[in-house]
């Protein structure tokens, strides 16, 4: 079929895809720099540590990707540049090429795939609620209260949907960071804080607070993945090959323990994810 018989929208998509396929690897080859976008406030997945450096479970996975990018391109050296992003601008940063890969607590959704591509799944989590010991005994007790949540996230949408489904007239208070949410909860400005359970458990552990607790109830299913440019098939294959190798070799156990602590246990569904995504070569 000649190009003149191809619908203009289809042709545009084909041209964009063709241009994107070599975009990331060629950009890294020319610059010698691999740009890792990361959230500064999404511990234990991605955050800025006490030394001011990028750290976390997802960041370690992205560093492993960088090693394989260096090898695939035959570079003697590769510079890693860590670019802080927010929940509001993270996908735009991928689209604009300001970062080569997005590392954080990023849920893979179909609507987000209109903006970016995703790697194999990297983690399975779900929304939960952090409560004060002197507050409601459960989520249903939050009627007429205030519930904090990180703005511009799937968790905010899940919170609003859950409140509507349960007919609870609670006020949603969006915060700028998980630490902000924790501080407001401890100060009594909100009665609960809604976030992914792994993040809440980490917040609770790091704070050492004895007057807070995380409910066992899980409200959503959140499959995390690394985000990258749409249509960049070569780079996506490299990323997925890296992740599969990490899962298959068992190296993921070391990365998990370093991020969540040596006493943390992987859930059965997370173990299954590692087995399923440990694809053969």
Per-residue pLDDT tens over the stretch 160-197: 999 999 999 999 999 999 999 999 999 999 999 999 99
Domain boundary among 193, 214, 235: 214
Q: 193: domain range?
A: 127-214
CA-nearest of 237, 233, 235, 241 to 280 is: 241
- Percent of residues, the chain, with pLDDT higher than 90: 86
CA–CA distances in Å: residue 252 to residues 80, 247, 277: 21, 6, 12
Q: Tell whether 153 and 69 lie within a shared domain.
A: no
> pTM for this structure?
0.85
Q: Are residues 20 and 82 in the same domain?
A: yes
Tell me: cis bond preceding 44? Omega within 30 of 0 counts.
Answer: yes
Domain boundary among 195, 214, 233: 214
Q: How many domains does the chain have?
A: 2
* Residue-level pLDDT at 12: 43
**In whole angstroms, how far apart are CA 49 and each of 37, 41, 42, 54?**
15, 10, 11, 6
List pLDDT tens digits, range 27-86: 999 999 999 999 999 999 999 999 999 999 999 999 999 999 999 999 999 999 999 999
Residues sharing a CB contact under 8 Å with residue 115, sequence separation 6 or more, in sequence order:
91, 94, 95, 230
Asked if 98 and 228 sit in the same domain, the reply is yes
Put the strands of the sheet holding 46-48 in their side by side order: 41-42, 46-48, 54-55
pLDDT number for residue 264: 87
* Tokens describing residue 157: 């949408």
What Å distances lie between residue 177 and 137, 151, 174, 195, 264, CA to CA? Answer: 25, 8, 9, 11, 24
Based on the domain organization, do 83 and 116 belong to the same domain?
Answer: yes
267: tokens are 């859930």
Distances (CA, A) of 78 to 9, 33, 37, 57, 96: 37, 6, 16, 21, 21
Quote the distance between the C-alpha of residue 256 and its chain's center.
Answer: 15
At residue 20, does pLDDT exceed 80? Answer: no
User: Are 79 and 118 found together in one domain?
Assistant: yes
Residue 2 reports pLDDT greater than 60: no
CATH number of residue 82's parent domain: 3.40.190.10
197 and 247 fall within a common domain: no
């Amino acid at each position: 079929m000649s190009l003149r018989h191809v619908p203009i929208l289809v042709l545009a998509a084909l041209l964009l895809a063709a241009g994107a396929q070599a975009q990331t690897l060629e950009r890294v080859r020319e610059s010698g720099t691999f740009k890792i976008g990361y959230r500064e406030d999404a511990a234990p997945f991605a955050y800025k540590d006490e030394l001011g450096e990028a750290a976390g479970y997802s960041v370690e996975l992205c560093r492993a990707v960088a090693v394989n990018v260096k090898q695939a391109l035959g570079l003697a050296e590769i510079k890693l540049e860590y670019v802080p992003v927010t929940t509001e601008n993270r996908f735009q940063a991928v689209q604009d090429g300001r970062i080569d890969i997005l590392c954080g607590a990023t849920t893979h959704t179909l609507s987000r795939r209109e903006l970016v591509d995703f790697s194999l799944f990297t983690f399975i989590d779900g929304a939960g609620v952090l409560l004060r010991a002197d507050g409601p005994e459960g989520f249903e007790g939050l009627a007429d209260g205030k519930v904090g949540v990180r703005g511009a996230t799937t968790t905010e949408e899940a919170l609003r949907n859950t409140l509507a489904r349960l007919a609870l007239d609670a006020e949603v208070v969006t915060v700028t960071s998980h630490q902000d949410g924790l501080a407001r909860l401890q100060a009594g400005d909100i009665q609960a804080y809604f976030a992914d359970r792994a993040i809440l458990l980490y917040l609770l552990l790091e704070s050492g607070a004895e007057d807070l607790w995380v409910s066992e109830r899980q409200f959503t299913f959140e499959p995390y993945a690394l985000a990258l440019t749409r249509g960049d098939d070569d780079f996506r294959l490299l990323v997925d090959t890296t992740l599969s190798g990490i899962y298959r070799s068992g190296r993921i156990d070391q990365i998990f323990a370093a991020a969540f602590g040596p006493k943390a246990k992987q859930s059965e569904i997370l173990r299954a994810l590692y087995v399923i995504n440990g694809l053969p070569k």
